[in-house]
Amino acid sequence: MKKDFLTLSDLSSEEVTALLDRAAALKAGRDISACPLIGKSIGLLFDKTSTRTRISFQTGIYQLGAQAIYINTKDMQLGRGETIEDTARVLARYLHGIVIRTYAHSTIEKLAQNAAIPVINGLTDLHHPCQALADMLTVKEKKGRLKDIRMAYIGDGNNVANSLIEAALLTGMELIVACPHGYEPDRKIHEKALSGGAKVKVITSPEDAVKEADVLYTDTWISMGQEREVERRKKTFKGYQINTDLLSLAKPDAIVMHCLPAHRGEEITDDVIDSPQSVVIDQAENRLHTQKALLEMLIK
């Protein structure tokens, strides 16, 4: 039976552990079978522009022996009114898997329901699970473990925050989200994680969030599709910047993470993102390794 990866909760704790171990082995050049996906074709169906998602998937697919077919939805019949359901059924006859990067999470759910091949969420407005996989690998590399690591996420309770909440549930990390009122992570995702025993808090004070933190994490205040809210969001999030003052409240060996692209001088300052405590480039590289492990797991 085919397996989709629409949210991080589509994996069990055991599967996450195995995937991260496999990603670490791939990164180290160990235990690599020769082109395990040779002869396969993976579609990259993108509504949203991308740097890391597109390039890391295309590179990883090639390294695994398969071919990546980039599909801009504006160039398809989708742009002329064909349904996502019909598109899914047709693509499943040509491809062995689909990576989709889009806006509404319902779009990817419809695609997965109608495609007889694995569907991978490259990003929706609600979830960013591939980013969370790379984040977990990065933390594990730098801190040696995930369980009981204290992560402070500062800023918008967006798709990245939602996936980190699910990561906390699966790994035993402690996650403190600091965001303004009205910008909290998805309530259903938060409540589900809490009911499963996750150590997740949502507060408004960045200073309280970073106390004794092992990891500080932030994302842009203005995501794609929110361009009309630029000035309002900049004003609302003004006190939610990761800077040297905020970093000084965390543990001395705390690491700083950002999923990129960064709006330097807004959610994070140059001196922090370029500091020795920043691991953002390692974090970006790890998209490649975790996604290769994910593709191996899902594409048969």
Q: Indicate which residue of 52, 105, 241, 259 is catalytic.
A: 259
- Check if 145 is active-site: no
259 assigned to active site: yes
Q: Return d(Cα 127, Cα 100) in angstroms, integer.
A: 12
Active-site pick, 58, 131, 283, 291: 131
Catalytic one of 105, 128, 233, 289: 128
User: Are the CB atoms for 133 and 264 separated by under 8 Å?
Assistant: no
Selecting among 156, 287, 289, 291, the annotated active-site residue is 287
What's the Cα-to-Cα distance from 39 to each of 36, 59, 96, 141, 160, rounded to whole Å? 9, 16, 10, 33, 33
CB contact at 8 A, 51 and 79: no
CA dist., res. 150 & res. 152, Å (int): 7
- Catalytic residue, from 219, 233, 241, 283: name it: 219
Cα 99 from Cα 295, distance rounded (Å): 10
150 is a catalytic site residue:
no
Tokens (6 digits) for 3: 């397996």
Asked if 287 is an active-site residue, the reply is yes
Q: Measure Cα distances from 198 to 12, 155, 180, 251 in Å.
A: 14, 20, 22, 22
Q: So which residues are the catalytic ones?
A: 101, 128, 131, 219, 259, 287
